[in-house]
Amino acid sequence: MLDYKVKRIVNPSQKELRELAIKYSHPILKSAYGNLDRITRFKARMAKYTYVIAPESDKDKYSHNIIDPKKAQELIERQKRYIESKEFLIEIQGYLGLGEKAVPVLWLFTPESANIAGMQQVLAFPREEVETPEQLKEPFKPKLTVVFASGFIVEDMPGKMAVVVDLDNYINYVMGSDYFGESKKGALRLLNDYVYQLGGLVFHAGAKAVKIGDRVVTMAIMGLSGTGKTTTTFSKQGELTQPIQDDMISLWPDKKINVTENGCFAKTYGLKPETEPVIYKGTVHPDAWVENVYMNEDGTYDFSKDILTPEEVARWKDILIATGAPPENVEKYIKGEVKAEDVVDKYLVPKDGWDFVVWTQNGRSIIPMSIIEDAADLHNIPPLKYIGILNRDEGPDAATPGIVKFASAAQAAGYFLLGETSKTSAAGKERGKTRSPFTNPFFPRRFSLMAERYMELTSDMPDLVAWMMNTGYVGGDALDEKAGRALKVKIRHSSAMLEAMLRDAIKWTVDPDFGYYIVDVNAPENAELLEKVPAEILQPRLLFEKQGRLDEYEAWVRKMKKERKEFLESLGTREEIIKAVVNE
C-alpha cells in the first residue's frame, strides 16, 4: 500500500461524500433534483497528457506517450508532498467486476477531489458484493491503484497536468485534472493491461441482454465517447432488453464475459425523456452525480444549452473565471463589446479564449445501477452472441452504411482495429474523422495486440456475429441535413436495424467494394425494415447516385481503401487482417 503520512477517511458513505464535496470540491451546485453538479476546469480526458513510465528505447511497445522513469519518480514524489500537506485522503476500496474474475482496486483522493471519490464509489462494486465474510475481516488487498490529486497543478508539465501510468506496479497517478473520467479510465486502463496479461481482452463496450423468442443473448457495443454507445446500450430490442454494462466488458479465454462497473457514466447533451428515458430518469435522480451540466436559475438542468447570452455569462461569471475563462474576455462579452457570432463558428466551435461562450456538450451523469430500470442480473450474464462497433460518420464523404455484418473474424478484427468515427464533443474543438483502435485508447500497449487477441479468443466462437453501425450521417453533416443534402441516422433507425439483425430478419448482400455484408434493399424480405429506415441509409451509394455525386462516393471508396491499409500497416497488423479489410 502506498505510504502517505496523512489521515485517511476509508469508505465514507455517499451522504458523507456529498458533504465533503460541498465543502471541498468547488465550484459545485446543488440541483432542484437533490444531486450535485460539479463544474470543472477540464471538460474531457486528456490523452495527450497521459504518460506510461518507460525508457525512450521502449516507446514502440506502448500506445501512450512515455515518460522517463527518473522524471516520473520526481513527479510522484512532488504529488506525495502535496498529498501529505492536506488534511486527509479519501480511500475508496472496491472492485471492477463481479465473481471470481473481479479485480480489487484502491482509489485515493485528496479533499478537493471529494466529488470524484463520490462518483467513483458509485461505479465500483463494494467489497461486500464480492468477498466472503472471511475475506472482509482481512485487510483490503488491491491489484490496481489510482491516486487522484486534482489540486496538484503541475506547472512545469504541458497543460499543467499529468497522468502518470506505472504498469509495473499497476498504479495510475492523476495530477492536476479535476475531470472524473481520469479516475474512471485510470482504473480501467490498468485493467486493460491486467486482463490482457491473463489471456483476456477488455472491450470499450456497453453490453445488454436481449430476449429474442426463447433465447437470451448478450450484445456488446463498442464506441468512442459521443458515438451513441450508451444510447444504443439502453435502447430496446426484442421481447426484453436489460442493460448489463455501460462502458467496458472483459472477454476471457473460457469465452465468459465479465462486467467492470456498477453503474453508468452517461453523456447528457441533448438528453430527452422521450428518446432516452432510462438515462434521463437516472440523471435527475437524487442519487446521481452530475458534471458540467448547465443549470437554470431554478436548479433544473438544461441538457441542450449551447451559446450563452451575455446575461447568462454574467450569472455564471465567477464560476466561469474559476474554471479558466479569461476575466477580460468575460467582461467584454457581458458588456456587449464582443458578440457570440464574432467568436463562434457555424459548428459552435469557439475561438481560443472564448470557450466559455459555448457551454460544453460533454456534460455527464454518474448513475448507480441500482436505479436503472430493468437492469440485468450481473451475476448471471448470457453468452456473448453479437459484438459491434459504432461509427458516427459525418462530413461530405460520410458514406458508411447504416448497418454492416462482417464476413469473417479477420475482417471484424480489422474494422475494430480501425475504430473509425468522427470526432465528437468529447474531443473538444477538434473536428473531422479519427481512428481509435477498438475505440479503446485506454489499452496502454501496442494497439495491434488487441486484434491478435480478438482473433485468438473468437476463433472457436463460430456463432458470434460481428457488426458495424453508422450513428451519424450519410452524405454530410447537421447543416447538410437541414439543407436536404444529407440524412441523419436517428435513434429509431438504429434501433430498427439492430432489431432486424437480432431477429435474423435481414437479407444481406455483399458490398462489391469492401466485401462485408450490407442490407439488400431490393430483397422483399427487407420490406419491413425499409419502412423504418431509408434505403439511402442502408446503402449510401444510392444517396450519392440520386444527387449526382457518384464521383464523390467512388473517390471515398478509393480513399478509404488506401488510408485503411496505410493505418493498419502503421500498427504492424497481420497481413490476413489487412487483406480482409481492403477486400483483396
Same domain, yes or no: 244 and 116: no
Band the pLDDT of 424: cuts 50, 70, 90: low
Same domain, yes or no: 308 and 433: no
**Would the pLDDT of 389 be above 70?**
yes
Same domain, yes or no: 211 and 88: no
Q: Angle at CA 385, nearest 5°, toward 383 and 390?
A: 125
Q: What is the pLDDT of residue 42?
A: 97
Is 234 domain-assigned? Answer: yes
Is 279 domain-assigned? Answer: no
> CB atoms < 10 A from the CB of 140, how many?
17
Same domain, yes or no: 258 and 387: yes
Which domain, by its residues, includes 555? 202-269+376-582
Band the pLDDT of 226: cuts 50, 70, 90: confident
Task: Assign 3-state DSSP to the chain and report helix, strand, coil percentages, each to 5.
Answer: 35, 25, 40
Q: What is the pLDDT of residue 427?
A: 45
Q: For the residues 175-196, what does the mean pLDDT come to?
A: 98
Band the pLDDT of 423: cuts 50, 70, 90: low
Q: For the residues 307-316, what does the mean pLDDT come to?
A: 98
Among residues 198, 227, 247, the one where a domain terminates is 198
Is 276 domain-assigned? Answer: no
Is 360 domain-assigned? Answer: no
pLDDT tens digit string along 518-528? 999 999 999 99
Q: For the residues 25-29, what does the mean pLDDT come to?
A: 98
Q: What is the pLDDT of residue 2?
A: 87
Band the pLDDT of 320: cuts 50, 70, 90: very high
**Would the pLDDT of 429 be above 60?**
no
Please give the Cα distance from 272 to 322 (Å, whole number): 30
Please give the Cα distance from 17 to 174 (Å, whole number): 20
pLDDT above 70 as % of the chain: 98
Q: How far is CA 534 from CA 149, 441, 503, 529, in A?
A: 50, 33, 19, 9
Same domain, yes or no: 211 and 256: yes
pLDDT tens digit string along 328-374? 999 999 999 999 999 999 989 999 999 999 999 999 999 999 999 88
Q: How many Cα neighbours within 13 Å face the side chain of 113?
A: 32
Number of domains present in the structure of the chain: 3
pLDDT above 90 as % of the chain: 95
Is 12 domain-assigned? Answer: yes
Same domain, yes or no: 298 and 397: no
Same domain, yes or no: 305 and 381: no
Q: What is the pLDDT of residue 89?
A: 98
Same domain, yes or no: 382 and 508: yes
Is 1 domain-assigned? Answer: no
Among residues 198, 222, 243, the one where a domain terminates is 198
**Would the pLDDT of 1 be above 80?**
no
Please give the Cα distance from 543 to 520 (Å, whole number): 15
Among residues 135, 169, 198, the one where a domain terminates is 198
CATH number at residue 86: 3.40.449.10
Q: pTM of the full predicted structure?
A: 0.94
Same domain, yes or no: 528 and 465: yes
Please give the Cα distance from 576 to 584 (Å, whole number): 10
**Would the pLDDT of 426 be above 60?**
no
Q: What is the pLDDT of residue 431?
A: 54
Of 201-210, 247-256, 376-385, 419-428, the range with the lowest mean pLDDT is 419-428
Same domain, yes or no: 473 and 574: yes
CATH number at residue 407: 3.90.228.20
Q: For the residues 285-300, what does the mean pLDDT come to?
A: 98
Same domain, yes or no: 548 and 399: yes
Same domain, yes or no: 450 and 516: yes
**Would the pLDDT of 440 be above 70?**
yes
Amino acid at 394: E
The residue ranges of DSSP E strands in 213-330, in sequence order, are: 215-222, 240-245, 249-251, 257-259, 263-267, 289-291, 294-295, 301-302
Is 367 domain-assigned? Answer: no
The mean pLDDT of the chain is: 96
Q: How far is CA 113 from CA 22, 23, 375, 383, in A?
A: 11, 11, 29, 38
Is 555 domain-assigned? Answer: yes
